[in-house]
Structure 1
Amino acid sequence: MRLRNLLLTLSLGPIACMSHVGCNSTGDGIPEAPGPFGYTPKIDFRTQIERLEGPVDVVRDAHGMVHIYATTSADAMRVEGYQLARDRTAQLELIRRIAEGRMAELLGGLSPDLIDSDISARTIGLHRVAKKMYEALPAESEAKKLLDAYADGISQFNARLNSENAEEVLPQSMSLLPLTAFEPWNGADVLAVARFQSQELSLTADEEITQSSFIAKWRTVFGASTDEQLKKRAPLLAQYAQFKPLDTATVLPGFPNDGGHVQSQPLEIGSRPIAQTQVVPRAAVRPAAVSPATFDAANGFVSGLGKMRSFLGERPFTGSNNWVVAPSRTASGHAILASDPHLSLSAPAVFWMVHLNVINASDPSQDMDVAGLAFPGIAGVILGYNRNVGWGATTALYDVTDVYSEKLNGDASGVVFNGQNVPFEKVHETIKVQGRDPIEYDVLMVPHHHGPLVPTIVDHKVVAPDPSKAALSMRWTGMEPTNELAAVFGFMRAKTVEDARVAIRNFSVGAQNWVFADTNGDIFYSSQSQIPKRDKRAYSWDPNTFSGTLPCFVLPGDGTAEWTGEYLPEANVPHAKNPSSGYIATANNDQVGVTVDNDPSNDKLPNGDPMYMGCYFDTGLREARIKKRIEAVGNKMTPEEMASIQGDAQSPLGAELTPKLLEALGHAEEERATPGSRPDLATVVKSAAYDPALIAEVQDVFRRWALDKDYEASAGLNLDDNTLSADAGEALASKATLIFNVWLVRMLGATFDDELGKLEFKTSPFDMRVALVNAVRANDSLLFDDLNTATPESRDERMVTSLLDALAFLKADKRAGQDRNAWRWGTFHTLRFASLVPLWPALSIPPGGDATFPNGFPRHGDGYNVDVATYSTKTRDLSQVDFSYAHGPTQRFVIEMDPAGPRARNALPGGAVWDDTNKHFRDEAELWRRNQNHAVSFTHTEVKAEAETRTLYSSSASK
């Protein structure tokens, strides 16, 4: 303490002891600061918590961010836990209970669906694996001490919520939650929350079940039909479920041949005839034969898992972006990094901004100075920067989950594996339910590493499997103990990208596309993860018939498609340092091009083993747009330009489909002028709905949208008062965006609803927008022919008819109004940061019943934009479509790694504190929704200048 205070005195200058905070003497006349932050500003609040080794300062700045200054790492983590519990009380408790399957005991009486969510959570067993991970930590390890300290900080806050004198209180808007719900935490709870985040990034069991069910039903209804009209549609399955991205932009073109890449042996990426991929005779391999009844039995689990997912956002709406630019491409000559990961846009925000500063004079190994995003319930900083290194992440979408079709033995006491009966192992679970008797059931574990049996849930209870039917089990890398927090703690103290590279080797589950930049000017990318290698018979895929075995669909559980016990070698997992391009960008897309030939199974490692990484990545449209914007800047990139790219709202589907729609309208006008020239359009141009003047107006709007605004998806409304924008260009783009998107929804229905109706699916588990683009590009697709009509329909007919339907809807809808010059996309396309608890509408942003923004904030974007704003198309009934959205960037982070000190800017989709009476409840959201950011205070001088309040934490046992 003596050396530290001397250094503070030298850096801050001679300061007299100030009586309003009190001070001690070091023994040789040097006044001792009241806390690690120094002598000023004054201390506004004092809080005592137990087990602190020294005083801890928490300075909240003008943006609500907390800066924690401590002399030990454990103190920093203990106060981080306490302060987070103060700011995000209910969010913290809810996320723990969702992860551990304990929501029903709080709200199961009001929302019985939460029982299904708990059953799904207990089946996956995040709480079980978290306990194993915690128990595996050495008793004296720093990781265990930091976990325990963080959990203890939360526990101490929760204890005070329950204290007789109400030392801490819940915000007034939070009703229904009893104070007894806020129970003590332990280190295993923290790891369960961490594994929950990993689950949302990588567990795909529900998707694999639903997609496999769709494929099986398609083959039954169309492939096995005796009706020729139905049978000829069987091959169209490949258009519905195509693997090839819409744009083939990859993260690392040519990996690993660029001189900046480490791996020296080239990989064969989709360069061989399909026949060469056969590893066993085709007849010797059979795909999993799963009955519709087996898939139906899994519906409750799939629904329950979806309920869990809704807390963080729906996985199909991927949208995260990050990119890093080398000094050779920047105006300043420093590396610059941008990161905007996408999750649920809720209130409160998914992340919480924090700065941790530790200086320990006697043990420098504890020192850290790191800022960025914390995930409530996980210790430390997940995404952010320190003095030397900055980092960001997007989900990699590697396939690390397998679902197996299991043959049950005669009494359903086990499964048949390799011809032998194997009994289940059982894990008993008891789920407490608010106002009801507990639910008890056994999780049935398939012992040969296939994982838990997917439960059959009926009336919110688990029923025994039917031995006359197959069952499903699921295996996921996250069901085994790993140590991702070691990677996170490593990032926090990294001094170079090479340090980060060493730390990332601990990141095994929840694969991310990590980008790093340091003050030396180096940039680095890695998607490090445990990607399992399977038996070659798991890849007996025939892309020509869209059949065979593939790990992204249900596999046979008979022993022919097992994990080998090895993972994809680290050298072959995509990574790069200082590539010759001068930048690296990722957007959930195919990293190296394994799907660009529409066959994820036919790529090989240098030794000839399969190099399977996954089936479904992002469309590639965002990656292509980001790269185009970066290339256009050249070598003069600035932080401001990086932020501008984050806010890019060009409509990629508008750019792709509008020219085809204009072409169809041109053909319609040809038919109107010369009957019989386009016979497929004869009926539509004769209809009463076909107004030539209105068609000409729409054609003009679309042409000008392309030429004048480059398909910008504008909101068209004033963001301050929700009135019409006076900017003519924005108004034009907004009108075009509205017409296009209403047409798009109707076109999806006109193209796909006839097939979906035959399958008895309300929507497709595959991306329907992608399927539509594929069909439009092909043009000869039978998908445009309506099964329910006698006369075949063409692509042009479907396009024009859908436009007429869209225009009729807009003319009748009161939101659009009769004045077509006032049609605005932002009237329909809105965003409300919805409260995590719907019963608390006042805790939404804007709140329910807001006078200025009754339907939420108007927003630009429409789908697959860089600034993703994708609305749901689960229904194609225009009267029922909700064009709002709730999934997008959870930060707008840009950082320049200046050797003189990092310069970061950021904004969150919501404030630091989940309390509508607090000034920091929605202040960040106001910047975020305008696509703005603010400077983040980091140095002592910056934090002091921005300081709003200072709280001194101390222990009764410390001075």
Structure 2
Amino acid sequence: MVMTRMTTRKSVFAAAAAAAAVVAAAAVVVPTRAQGPARPDLAAQARAAIAQHSGTIIVRGLSEPVEVLRDTWGVPHIYAKSTEDLFFAQGFVVAQDRMWQLEMWRRNGEGRLAEVLGPQYVTRDKFARLLAFRGNWDDEFKKYHPEGKNIFKAFAEGINAAIQKAIDEKKVPIEFQTLGFQPQPVWTAQTVLTRMPGWTLSRNASSEVTRALEIKALGIAKAQDLKPTLPAKKLAVPPGLDLNDISPAILDVTRGANDLQWTLKSSQSASTALDQIKSDLGSNNWVVDATKSTTGRPILANDPHREVVNPALRYVVHLNAPGWNALGATEPGLPGISIGHNDRIAWGFTILGMDQQDLYVEETDAQNPDRYRSNGRWEDMAVERQLIAVQGSATPQEFAAKFTRHGPVLYEDTVRHRAFALRSVGAEPGGAGYLGSLNIMQANNWQEFKAGMPKAWFIPSHSLVYADVGGHIGYLGVAQTPVRKNWDGLLPVPGAEGKYEWDGFVPYDQLPQSLDTPKHFYNSSNNDVVPKIVPGYTLPLGYEYNAPYRYDRVAEVLSQNRKFSIEDMES
């Protein structure tokens, strides 16, 4: 690597200082303290820490100069001469804008929150470490893109360069100044591939426990009546499962795993992980072809319903280098874009709801809880001894991460001699959420778009709508979807006898797809959309879809005998 320059220019970006001050106020919940000396001018501190957005920056790590243009909304348009420089620059720029968010994203994924936020985050750190990828890293890198390792490495090095520059210049964002710790330039290619974001939107294990507790309390008929599945499926307790083994404590380790509002005080709530499950998040997407468009070309719209927070979950960026020209939104800690378009195709997604997790009830040895029964004999769990640093404590907490053949152990019942292990698509190579898009960012048409999907569009499951400059529109329902030959995945299953094992995954060419529908539009809203788009489709993909009212309303409007403008799509 050599020292070279990154030229940055800005357009209208006068709101940056005010925005930075808002970020500082909204990013962390600080407990009320007794009134003391006058508080510093936070707005002035925030302004002083704003990164350089114009002029020339000399940075180690680029092979050739890179140009970054920021538009009226502050969106960076990055122009590089190589793939590595492009993603290095993306990492650098996003760290300039979202350094605090990136630091907490990394700590959340690596299980290092307690180190800076205190003991109330120890349990969450344990969960993150249980989810961490433990497979072959070469296989993992290649899943997302043929140049995956170089892309992730460059992105991480760009983040580190921006962090180091801020430290050297004593211009770290105000959140760090307020809390009294520094960001760490320790990102690697592996850092990017955390499994925590995928857990957030793939929680079938949670609903399995909830459903088992409801059947235990109400009986199977009443539970079915009060909470039917979508599509309808008659509930049945898997043979061998004792509902008395199921308790709310099974998912205690997952408590707060979806909460990105960091706090410095212990929660006063006595709620369980089950109480915190939210089912009201939803998204909409749709695409119309030229016959329904005032532009004479397809129009695609995507409306991911995510919480309005500051800093935002999404980060909009334009990436341009030889072989790359794409603009859209990603999560700040992920290279590339997840939703958007290049100069030939566009795509958008909503969560579909395929079942990608199973909870296994393992029988443990009363004489040795680190052994479990597997196919008629006792097997040793894999045990990793780890240390968790805790803010305010000189002594780290020891943590024993345990694993059966099915996956990480989330909970152990030492009285009933049971352990509860999670099998998840996230443990497979390619199981990091939202990074499958790297394989389609360079696609030129429907065939290339489809061909990129099986490589790593694994988790979470998505309903994708598609459009291209040739006038085609399409739909794909995609995810790595386990094949369950003798059970439905709606309840936990016994793990001892091997009766409930995944039989591979549904081949991608058997997942739902459609091109150029005679209806002239596609739409989805987290509902069971597949039978509406691919009539006669019979493969069971899941039973926990959202109600169809949003889908029905969008379909009602798009079915009108009229053409739609871009303004119509925005309204």
Once the two structures are TM-superposed, the CA of residue 118 in structure 1 deviates from its matched residue by 1.0
Does 2:135 correspond to 1:186?
Answer: no
SS in 1 for 2:287: strand
Q: Which residue of 1 aligns with 2:478?
A: 528
**Partner Cα separation in structure 2 for residue 399 and residue 78 of structure 1:** 35
Q: 1:102 aligns with which of 112, 130, 142?
A: 112
**Partner Cα separation in structure 1 for residue 141 and residue 67 of structure 2:** 33
Over residues 247-293 of structure 1, what are the superposed CA-to-partner deviations in whole Å (9 max), with x where a residue is unaligned? Answer: x9xxxxxxxxxxxxxxxxxxxxx9xxx8xx9xxxx99x62511326x
Question: Are 2:512 and 2:537, in contact at CA under 8 Å, matched by a contact in 1?
Answer: no
Over residues 584-626 of structure 1, what are the superposed CA-to-partner deviations in whole Å (9 max), with x where a residue is unaligned? Answer: 10111113359xxxxxxxx995xxxxx3211210111111111
Over residues 154-196 of structure 1, what are the superposed CA-to-partner deviations in whole Å (9 max), with x where a residue is unaligned? Answer: 0111122332x42x431378510411x423211000112xx33
**Partner Cα separation in structure 2 for residue 310 and residue 171 of structure 1:** 15
**Partner Cα separation in structure 2 for residue 455 and residue 45 of structure 1:** 54
Change (3 A) 1:75 1:370: same
Once the two structures are TM-superposed, the CA of residue 119 in structure 1 deviates from its matched residue by 1.4
**Partner Cα separation in structure 2 for residue 116 and residue 483 of structure 1:** 23
SS in 1 for 2:178: coil
Does 2:225 correspond to 1:239?
Answer: yes
What is the root-mean-square deviation in Å for CA atoms of aligned residues?
A: 3.1
**Partner Cα separation in structure 1 for residue 542 and residue 208 of structure 2:** 12
Q: Which residue of 2 aligns with 1:640?
A: 567
Show the 5 A alignment for 1:495-510: 495-506=444-455, 507-510=457-460
TM normalised by structure 2 equals: 0.81
Change (3 A) 1:445 1:523: same
Identical-residue share of aligned pairs (%)? 26
Question: Are 1:36 and 1:71, in contact at CA under 8 Å, matched by a contact in 2?
Answer: no
Show the 5 A alignment for 1:808-827: none
Change (3 A) 1:327 1:309: farther
Q: Which residue of 1 aligns with 2:249?
A: 297
Over residues 861-919 of structure 1, what are the superposed CA-to-partner deviations in whole Å (9 max), with x where a residue is unaligned? Answer: xxxxxxxxxxxxxxxxxxxxxxxxxxxxxxxxxxxxxxxxxxxxxxxxxxxxxxxxxxx
Over residues 793-818 of structure 1, what are the superposed CA-to-partner deviations in whole Å (9 max), with x where a residue is unaligned? Answer: xxxxxxxxxxxxxxxxxxxxxxxxxx
Q: Which residue of 1 aligns with 2:30?
A: none
Q: Which residue of 1 aligns with 2:332?
A: 376
Question: Are 1:532 and 1:563, in contact at CA under 8 Å, matched by a contact in 2?
Answer: no
Q: 1:79 aligns with which of 89, 100, 103?
A: 89
Show the 5 A alignment for 1:492-641: 492-506=441-455, 507-536=457-486, 538=487, 550-559=488-497, 561-593=499-531, 611-632=539-560, 634-641=561-568
Q: 1:113 aligns with which of 114, 120, 141?
A: 120
**Partner Cα separation in structure 2 for residue 308 and residue 469 of structure 1:** 34
**Structure with the larger strand share:** 2
Change (3 A) 1:318 1:290: same
Question: Are 2:358 and 2:422, in contact at CA under 8 Å, matched by a contact in 1?
Answer: yes
Once the two structures are TM-superposed, the CA of residue 117 in structure 1 deviates from its matched residue by 1.0
Amino acid in the other structure paired with 1:408: T
Question: Are 1:527 and 1:574, in contact at CA under 8 Å, matched by a contact in 2?
Answer: yes
**Partner Cα separation in structure 1 for residue 55 and residue 6 of structure 2:** 12
Question: Are 1:206 and 1:305, in contact at CA under 8 Å, matched by a contact in 2?
Answer: no
Amino acid in the other structure paired with 1:103: L
Q: 1:150 aligns with which of 151, 155, 177?
A: 155
Over residues 22-54 of structure 1, what are the superposed CA-to-partner deviations in whole Å (9 max), with x where a residue is unaligned? Answer: xxxxxxxxxxx99799xxxxx942111112121
Amino acid in the other structure paired with 2:78: I
**Partner Cα separation in structure 1 for residue 213 and residue 460 of structure 2:** 25
Change (3 A) 1:487 1:510: same
Change (3 A) 1:134 1:170: farther
Once the two structures are TM-superposed, the CA of residue 315 in structure 1 deviates from its matched residue by 4.6
Does 2:356 correspond to 1:356?
Answer: no
**Partner Cα separation in structure 2 for residue 639 and residue 430 of structure 1:** 54
SS in 1 for 2:60: coil
SS in 2 for 1:474: strand
Once the two structures are TM-superposed, the CA of residue 483 in structure 1 deviates from its matched residue by 6.9
SS in 1 for 2:190: helix
Amino acid in the other structure paired with 1:418: N
Question: Are 1:205 and 1:402, in contact at CA under 8 Å, matched by a contact in 2?
Answer: yes
Change (3 A) 1:145 1:531: same
Once the two structures are TM-superposed, the CA of residue 75 in structure 1 deviates from its matched residue by 1.1
Q: Which residue of 1 aligns with 2:131?
A: 124
**Partner Cα separation in structure 2 for residue 560 and residue 151 of structure 1:** 41
Q: 1:385 aligns with which of 341, 346, 358?
A: 341
Amino acid in the other structure paired with 2:249: A
User: Which stretch of structure 1 is more off in the superposition, 147-156 or 206-215?
Assistant: 206-215
**Structure with the larger helix share:** 1
Show the 5 A alignment for 1:69-468: 69-108=79-118, 112-126=119-133, 128=134, 132=137, 137=142, 142-163=147-168, 165-166=169-170, 168-171=171-174, 175-179=178-182, 181-192=183-194, 195-219=195-219, 235-244=221-230, 286=239, 288-291=241-244, 294-307=246-259, 315-358=278-321, 366-411=322-367, 412-436=369-393, 437-447=395-405, 450-455=406-411, 465-466=413-414, 468=416
Question: Are 2:342 and 2:441, in contact at CA under 8 Å, matched by a contact in 1?
Answer: yes
Compare CA radii of gyration and give the structure with the larger one.
1
Question: Are 2:472 and 2:516, in contact at CA under 8 Å, matched by a contact in 1?
Answer: yes
Change (3 A) 1:199 1:132: farther
Over residues 87-116 of structure 1, what are the superposed CA-to-partner deviations in whole Å (9 max), with x where a residue is unaligned? Answer: 0110011111111211111101xxx33111
The count of corresponding residues between Structure 1 and Structure 2 is: 504
Structure 2 stretches lacking a partner, 5+ long? 10-52, 264-275
Change (3 A) 1:94 1:133: farther
Question: Are 1:243 and 1:616, in contact at CA under 8 Å, matched by a contact in 2?
Answer: yes
Over residues 921-941 of structure 1, what are the superposed CA-to-partner deviations in whole Å (9 max), with x where a residue is unaligned? Answer: xxxxxxxxxxxxxxxxxxxxx
**Partner Cα separation in structure 2 for residue 627 and residue 132 of structure 1:** 43
Q: Which residue of 1 aligns with 2:42?
A: none
**Partner Cα separation in structure 2 for residue 394 and residue 441 of structure 1:** 37
**Partner Cα separation in structure 1 for residue 345 and residue 177 of structure 2:** 39
Q: Which residue of 2 aligns with 1:7?
A: none
Does 2:77 correspond to 1:67?
Answer: yes
Change (3 A) 1:432 1:35: closer
**Partner Cα separation in structure 1 for residue 105 and residue 207 of structure 2:** 22
Amino acid in the other structure paired with 1:619: A
Amino acid in the other structure paired with 2:126: I
SS in 2 for 1:175: helix
SS in 2 for 1:346: coil
Change (3 A) 1:35 1:85: closer
Once the two structures are TM-superposed, the CA of residue 630 in structure 1 deviates from its matched residue by 0.9
Change (3 A) 1:504 1:36: farther
Structure 1 stretches lacking a partner, 5+ long? 1-32, 38-42, 220-233, 249-269, 359-365, 457-464, 539-549, 595-602, 606-610, 645-959
**Partner Cα separation in structure 1 for residue 110 and residue 175 of structure 2:** 27
**Partner Cα separation in structure 1 for residue 131 and residue 60 of structure 2:** 35
Amino acid in the other structure paired with 1:376: P
Once the two structures are TM-superposed, the CA of residue 552 in structure 1 deviates from its matched residue by 2.1
Q: Which residue of 2 aligns with 1:542?
A: none
**Partner Cα separation in structure 1 for residue 249 and residue 6 of structure 2:** 63
Change (3 A) 1:90 1:133: farther
